[in-house]
Amino acid sequence: MAAISGNKPHVLAVAIPAQGHVKPMMSLCRQIAKHGIKVTLVNAQTIHNKIVSSSAAEEADSDGNFVMETVPDGLTPDDDPNSLYKLLQTLPKTMPETLPELIERINGENPNEKISCVIADLSFGWVLEIAEKMGAQTVGFSPPSFATFAILLHLPNLIQQGYIDANGSLENNIDMIRLSDEIPGWRNDEFPWSIPGDLKHQKLFFNCEQSYKAANRAKWLLSNTCYELEPAACDLHPNMLPVGPLHLVETAKTQEKSRSNSGNFYPLDTSCLIWLDTKPPASVIYVSFGSLAVFSQQQLDELALGLELSGRAFLWVVRRDLANGLQAEFPDGFLERVARFGKIVEWAPQDEVLSHPAVACFVSHCGWNSTLEGVSKGLPYLCWPYFADQAHDESYICDKWEIGLRIDCDENRIRSRYEIKKKIDMVLSESRFKENALKLKETCAKSVSEGGSSYKNLMTFIDHLRK
């Protein structure tokens, strides 16, 4: 297909089938659409169904410029449609056929609005190869931290130089990789591909070759961060533009709170906002571990008892698969004892929760979206990373930005109720955490406001799309 000229620009965006990747990609799409450029977001059918059924009304009234399309999942009837790992295996097999078919269909239906540009999540770098073949411009998008992107780009060298083995683990004689003195280092189990105790799936994540190829192939590279949050990492690859925090760009520009809550895979339980309204300012501990983290029932018992022991009001997101894929059970009598001061929901409107004045701090798994969302609200953190880039985000939070504390494991790899209570008390009693967090809030707000670094980068990109 020849390069497309004379058409109205039309962007096609492809996210990977994970909550923490779809949401920021959707924010990016909406920003582009707001500037009058047509955008089509493509998701696997299962993911699309989840988004639409969680927020049908909200998606239906989206701007005329923003539409969603689907490609088949490639799952068999025996496959678990909720398994990210499964979709990460099937889609790279089926999409090289189904995506060009979709693009051909869209182009056929809109002869004056053929797809002129494809934005792909860097983890699906092969999408950009398809884009090139179809004459579209190529843009790579990296939803996690800039540091995560940087370590992925260094991976081939780290392997070649014998620092990292074929499973993605540090060689025996090495305890940490550093890219610069200013960027927190990576220990074993802190890499973006790390899944402690699950080598099989770690190998699936470790296949980072795609990001590397995509980064080389893409004409533009965008990252969901802002320069001021990670200047040292951004300086390593000045060809990638930090354009985030994208959820903040959305609320800053549109003044529509609900937009930053779009793209959820689960229905939002808004009853917690009404519950928060009844609580005094800065009195509630918000506890949430994102969409993928799971824990043993024993660990969940300790968390429940730790929250109870803290004696403070808490809002806890307990997904229905949080207990290693099963419905969590609570210790005997727990629900009755905490009824007065505790609230449990299956999925919260997180951005609105974090904006609520009643929230005092965030007990988080440190997924990058949750990190950006809390940081941009000026909240102190208690860190409880589960896998992938989360332990590195924890280092930013605790060591670099100094806005939170780690909740440490004991010798049995359990975070005990006593440790949980102790850290809640510490983070709320030492004012430096809140003070530092408020400074970062300001930094993020400036970056996405007119004239700020992320604002300018996003405008540069959008202006380019118009040409």
Residues that bind ligand UDP (CB under 6 A): 18-20, 23, 264, 288, 290-292, 317, 347-348, 350-351, 367-370, 373
> Between 338 and 372, whose beta carbon lies closer to ligand UDP?
372
The CA distance from 420 to 416, in Å, is: 6
Tell which residue, 392, 379, 377, 383, has the closest CA to residue 433: 379
CB of 348 to ligand UDP, least distance (A): 4
DSSP-based helix, strand, coil % in the chain, nearest 5: 45, 15, 40
Task: Give kind and range of the element (H or E) at residue 43.
Answer: strand 38-44
Edge-to-edge order in the sheet of strand 66-71: 66-71, 38-44, 10-14, 117-121, 137-142, 220-223, 240-242
| Separation of alpha carbons 430 and 425, rounded Å | 9
Cβ-based nearer residue to ligand UDP, 23 or 417 = 23
d(C-alpha 299, C-alpha 282), whole Å: 26
Residue 223's beta-bridge partner residues? 142, 242
Which residue, 306 or 367, has its beta carbon nearer to ligand UDP?
367
Report the C-alpha gap between 239 and 220 in whole angstroms: 8
Q: Which residue has the tokens 């500037």?
A: 35
- Beta carbon of residue 220, minimum distance to ligand UDP (angstroms, whole number): 23
* Closer to ligand UDP by Cβ: residue 38 or 86: 86
- Of 39, 37, 50, nearest to 464 by C-alpha is 37
Which among 377, 338, 360 is positioned nearest to 429, based on CA atoms? 360
Shortest spacing between CB 374 and ligand UDP, in angstroms: 9
Closer of 99 and 359 to ligand UDP (Cβ) = 359
137 vs 260, beta carbon nearer ligand UDP: 260
Q: For residues 184 and 192, which CB has a smaller minimum distance to ligand UDP in the complex?
A: 192
Bridge pairing between strands 342-345 and 359-364: unpaired
Smallest distance, ligand UDP to C-beta of residue 290, A:
3
Q: How far is the CB of 9 from ligand UDP (least distance, A)?
A: 28
